[in-house]
Structure 1
Amino acid sequence: MADKLRTLQQLESLQAKYVGTGHADTTRHEWTNTIVRDSYASYIGHPALLSYMSLGMGEPKEVVRGQFIEKMVRGVGNPPVKEED
């Protein structure tokens, strides 16, 4: 019983420390949005990866960075409409 409680406490502390790990109440839309935003933040934060992507897209690096920032802010779109019961 103590092991299970310790495991749950460790999980809760990790979820509090790293917001992107989600929790039981995280919706699919929130989780997907977090993944997309983290990905674009990583692309922007690693200059070599940004250069590689800009070369493949045929655009200047600053233009691609601007596009990625816009996509990061936008996320995956509006949340799905919830049905009222």
Structure 2
Amino acid sequence: MADKLRTLQQLEHLQQKYIGTGHADTTRHEWTNNIVRDSYASYVGHPALLSYMALGMGECREVVRARFVEKMVRGVGPAPVEREDGEDGEEVVVVERRDRGGK
């Protein structure tokens, strides 16, 4: 029983420390957004990798860096619109899910 409690506490600690670890309520859009942003942050944060990618793209390194920072901020786009059935089964309610910003 103590092992299970310790495991849950460690998981909660990781989720607070690293947003990208996700949780039970993480949507597919949030998960994908975290992966894309983390990838672009890594590309920008490692100068050798950025130079390699710029060389392959045939662009100046700073142009590629600016493009990657812009893509990192944008993520994968707006959150999708979900459709849910109403209580009577006939009515369709449109619910917009907003990105919680990693919370």
Moved over 3 A (4+): none
TM-score, normalised on structure 2?
0.79
Aligned partner of 1:56 in structure 2 is 56
Paired with 1:9 and 1:69, the residues of 2 have a C-alpha distance of: 34
Count of aligned positions = 85
More strand, by proportion: 2
Higher relative contact order (CA 8 A, sep 6+): 1
For the pair shown, the structure with the greater C-alpha radius of gyration is 2
TM-score, normalised on structure 1?
0.95
Q: CA RMSD in A?
A: 0.8
Percent identity over paired residues: 82
- C-alpha deviation, 1:78, in angstroms: 1.4
More helix, by proportion: 1
1:26 matches 2:26: yes
Q: Which runs of 5 or more structure 1 residues have no equivalent in the other structure?
A: none
